Chain A
Amino acid sequence: MAELPLKDPAPADDAADTEPRPGRIRKPIGWSMIVIAVLVAVCVVLVWRRDGVHGVTEILFSDLELFGGILPRVLAGCLLGAFIAEILPHEKVSRALGPNSGLKGLLIGTAFGAILPGGPFTVYPVAAALLTVGADFGAAIAMVVSWTLIGYGRAIVWELPIMGTDFTLWRIVISLPLPILAGALGRFVYIRIYPKGAPP
């Protein structure tokens, strides 16, 4: 299933910092992508039967336009992730965000997700980079969940004007504990599913 195999958290000695990061193994096609491709194929056929060839090409062109607009940001996100993986000292990351970082690690992940600028094109590459340099699933979950639930970017641009101030503020207040709870639950489940660490 795993397309980018996770490294075990970097060992907590200084050697981890001096060793060059081995290139990640990249597999563009995994089971998840095959499932998605089949789902998309089914939907294309459904659209074709409903709207004909015209309906299919119309969606294709508008999505290609969207795709072209997204690409530069995806490149920026990938570079950001690569720089973070290179610059952050692995030993410090695994101490601050690793499996034994406790509540503090979850709080750091939550704060990081809440203040991270940009959109999905930043948060996912950065979260993947942190996993590579020694953050555990719990801290990465806290970060991703924090970004989706209490990140300010989407709230200011979309939620405030559409849902109103009252709803938005209360929803964010209610959501404040959720990233930490999600990260803690993630850790709790993770060590029971993989008691000996991540499978290769």
Chain B
Amino acid sequence: MSALIVDIILWGSVAVLGFMAWQRGRPVLVSSVREGTLDFINIVPRIALGVIGAGYIAAVIPSEVITGWLGPDSGWLGVLMATVAGAATPGGPVIGFSLGAVAMKAGAGPPQVIAYVTAWALFAFQRLILWEIPFMPARFVWFRAAVSLPFPFVAAAIAMAVGKP
């Protein structure tokens, strides 16, 4: 159901922007459709490598390893381990959040789980490989990931300071 809504919003946006391009004149529409299609053709092999490759990489990293890293140890070492675990977590949002929930039940502190979820959102290797590198200039991706490094720690620090969640 939610997938259908996503598709409707997505293709609706494409239609609206396509209409705006068409209003600028037919050549504008034709040239942007051609650019978009060429981008698509160019990206397909990379997405293929990303999707199929990520499955194999995920199969090699068992989830027990991730929850082990997220164990009930606390403090900044726990935050560091949580950050590494977040980056190494394979799979989509279900796996990322479920492992976070499991770790929380197993006694991990909320700041550590915040660091884990933040690190996973910022630089889970699977999303970098599958989505970000195919679409964005590689230099931007590495730059963004490097710049993002401090932020799981910042998020954990804020969580410790406000004493929530």
Contact = CB atoms under 8 A, between A and B. Distances in A.
Interface residues of A, number: 89
Secondary structure at the A interface, as helix, strand, loop or mixed, is: helix
A166 B158 CA distance: 16
A141 B127 CA distance: 15
A84 B45 contact: no
Contacts of B31: 20-21, 86
Interface residues of B, number: 84
A139 to B, nearest CB: 12
Contacts of B106: none
A36 B138 contact: no
A144 interface: yes
B137 A121 contact: no
B138 A32 contact: yes
Contact of A78 (B39, B97, B114): B39
Given A63-B51, A73-B10, A174-B158, A167 B110 contact: yes
8 contacts: A46-B56, A63-B51, A87-B24, A117-B9, A158-B97, A162-B101, A163-B97, A174-B159
Given A43-B56, A148-B122, A178-B155, 13 more contacts: A2-B138, A32-B133, A59-B55, A75-B40, A82-B39, A122-B13, A149-B122, A154-B93, A157-B2, A158-B93, A162-B101, A171-B165, A181-B154
Interface of B: 2, 6-7, 9-11, 13-14, 17-18, 20-21, 24, 28, 31-33, 35-40, 42-57, 59-60, 93-94, 97-98, 100-101, 104, 110, 113-114, 117-118, 121-122, 127, 129-144, 146-148, 150-151, 154-155, 158-159, 162, 164-165
Interface of A: 1-6, 20-21, 23-24, 26, 28, 30-33, 36-37, 39-40, 43-44, 46-47, 55, 59-60, 62-64, 66-67, 70-87, 117-122, 124-125, 127-128, 131, 137, 140-141, 144-145, 148-149, 153-154, 157-159, 162-163, 166-167, 169-171, 174-175, 178, 181-182, 185-186, 189-190
